[in-house]
A and B are shown apart, each in its own frame.
Chain A
Amino acid sequence: MAVRRNMKVTLPRLRGVLIPLIAVIVVLALFPVIGVSRIWLLYAFLFFTYLAMANMWNLLAGYSGLVSLCPAAFIGLAGYTLAIGTWFGFPWYLGIIAGGIVAAAFAVIISVPVFRLKGIYFAIGTLVLPEVLRFVFTIWAPIGEPVYGGGAGYTVKGVADVSQAQIYWLALAIGAASIFLMRYVLRSKLGSGLAAIRDNDSTAASCGINVFNLKLYSFVIAAFITGIAGAIFYLYQGYIEPVSAFSVRWLVIIMLATVIGGEGTEEGPVVGTIIVVFLYFTLARYAEISLIIQGSILIGIMLLAPQGIMGSLRKTRAYRSLLKLATRR
């Protein structure tokens, strides 16, 4: 219980924020109806999917002390589940859910070897996973040989039936769901236990926290949501192949979003993802040096403001007094 009391100090209830949040989501949901231009819908779509992934990475790295380098594994697996499912005649909405489930199941299986590893060892163990899956899906072609499958990848069949607006709403749903899930998880017993594990896992274990199970829960939740977001992304893209599906590019996006915004802060990924989507489109013009810019941002943020934008803001007096105002209401 001591842990729980402690958490309440660091996690203000923020009741006042809930209503504006819902209002923003409703307005965003109206975007396709009120004729917002397609390019802005695309920005928003990418924001929602990346946000869900970044939130889940934050749950692992920022709150559970699990620096996982394998979001691409969940994204790629879910994308493949969706694509291959449509080839076997399953409707796309089942494919998205199945994608999340497959990613979560993969997380359960893989937790056996990687959870034996702590800290930096865990990071290494997870870095290998997308690479392994990339090889698997380059070799394995369950259907559509010899033209499709393997290195050639799959198209998602029946995408034509899905309207742009539907895909947009799906992305909005998963983005919003990830925010509410974070709010819920962090204020639950699970969140308190995770924070205890992150800060000192042997003390947590001696306080009666089941370290393995709690880590597993957060890992599986993260895998499921990341997988669903990935499947939605591939529903939009309509095509999947192993090199880009299990690419380290996913990790770059997700890590940038969380690190810029502030690892271990609830609002961090939101701020970070806005910046990442903005960067994504502005850097398209400077494609040849875009990685240099992104790498420099990562290094710069880490050296100058390791807690990210929100982490640094939290330290300022103005933010604290604003927070007091918001919570007192």
Chain B
Amino acid sequence: MTVLVELSTPVVMGILLGGLYAVIALGLSLVFGVVKEINIAHGDLVILGSYFGYVAMTVLGIDPILSLIIGMPLLFGIGFAIQKYLLNRAFKISMDATLIIAFGLSLILQNAYQLIWTPMARGLTTPYALESFSAGPIHVPLVYLLDFVAAILVMLFIQQFLKRTYLGRAIRAAAQDRKTAHLMGINTDRVYAYTFAISMALAAVAGVFLGLTFSFTPISGMSFLIIALGVVVLGGLGSIVGTFVGGIAFGLAQTLGGYFFGVAAQMLVAYIMVLVVLAVIPRGIFGR
């Protein structure tokens, strides 16, 4: 029994943390599922969201979560421009081209963050960021719960959006078959730009909650990209439910790995699980 009681905290924390990872990975998964490109700059764009929250908090004095009202449209616009002017063109050259261009973008962003915000680690330290709550033997920081709630809201919203709106249906059509969608009168280039824009709006949400949970530096993007890739690989690329389940699996692997093998090894355990899943079921748990 005592083992179960002791395990309850890492299990709950893993599940809640998984929500955050799912939000970080969702934009990546969406862009992969629809545009069939891996956005290597996704991690850095998430960090852009974190820095936006940081500026809103320190300069304008707005709560980072509230600042998303401005942050999401802003990143939406940036995302639209990136896909329209860079990646849509690259897409027509070759698959490698999109990968390499996104990589170039990632380098530029990292450098820009360093210039603007210095290499120092930042965090979104709000009054509620340090609170925690207890339920029986379980002690969990409040922000973890916020992460999870945000994850569920975002997932439900995206799922309903893809199901019910015209643009959502167009996105799904373009994802299933680009040529047929084009023949049916869908401007696939514009649909791709909107998809990337939505992915960036999701990155804004992910960035703020990431900033609330962890500290971040200009080069954190790469580690969060790798986490997001791990989540997406676990869940199966392009599936929203899969991303959510993958996020939780990754979060659990991390916290339980930390519990059994020490904090230093927690990410290692999660990554090894990703590699094992790749070897056994390459398309992921919910992959098509």
B107 touches A116 (CB 8 A): no
Which has the most chain B C-beta neighbours within 10 Å: A290, A296, A297? A296
- With an 8 A cutoff between CB atoms, is A44 at the interface? no
Q: How many B residues touch A, CB cutoff 8 Å? A: 47
Q: Are B278 and A116 in contact, CB atoms less than 8 angstroms apart? A: yes
Determine if A61 is an interface residue (Cβ-Cβ < 8 Å).
yes
Contact status A303-B89, CB under 8 Å:
yes
Residues in B whose Cβ lies below 8 Å from that of A289: 111, 115
- Docked Cα-Cα span, A114 to B279, in Å, equals 7
**Are A298 and B115 closer than 8 Å at their CB atoms?**
no
A298, B264: Cβ atoms closer than 8 Å: no
Chain A, residues 231-254, CB within 8 Å of chain B (1/0): the string is 000000000000000001001100
Q: Is the CB of B222 within 8 A of A248?
A: yes
State the CA gap A238–B230 with chains docked (Å): 34
A135 at the interface (CB under 8 A from B): yes
| Closest chain B residue to A300, Cβ basis | B104
- Cβ contacts under 8 Å, A295 to chain B: 103-108, 111
Number of A-B contacts (CB under 8 A): 119
- A128 CB contact (under 8 Å) in B100, B104, B106, B275: B275
Report the bound CA distance from A248 to B222 in whole Å.
Answer: 9
Asked whether A296 and B104 contact (CB < 8 A) given A117-B278, A132-B271, the answer is yes
A291 B103 Cβ-Cβ under 8 A = no
Which candidate, A119-127, A161-169, A177-185, is the interface stretch facing chain B? A119-127
Q: Mark A89-130, 1 if CB is under 8 A from B, else 0.
A: 000000000000000000000001110110111011101100
Identity of the chain B residue whose Cβ is nearest the Cβ of A121 in the assembled complex: B282
Question: Using a CB-CB cutoff of 8 Å, which residues 14-28 of chain B contact chain A?
Answer: none
Given contacts A120-B38, A291-B110, A302-B104, 13 further A-B contacts (CB under 8 A): A120-B95, A121-B233, A127-B40, A128-B229, A128-B274, A131-B226, A131-B271, A248-B222, A291-B107, A294-B104, A295-B104, A295-B107, A299-B86
**Chain B residues close to A by CB (< 8 Å):** 32, 36-38, 40, 86, 89-90, 93-97, 99-101, 103-108, 110-112, 114-115, 222-223, 226, 229-230, 232-233, 237, 264-265, 267-268, 271-272, 274-276, 278-279, 282
The chain A residues found within 8 Å of chain B, CB to CB, are 61, 67, 112-114, 116-117, 119-121, 123-125, 127-128, 131-132, 135-136, 138-139, 248, 251-252, 255, 259, 263, 288-292, 294-299, 302-303, 306
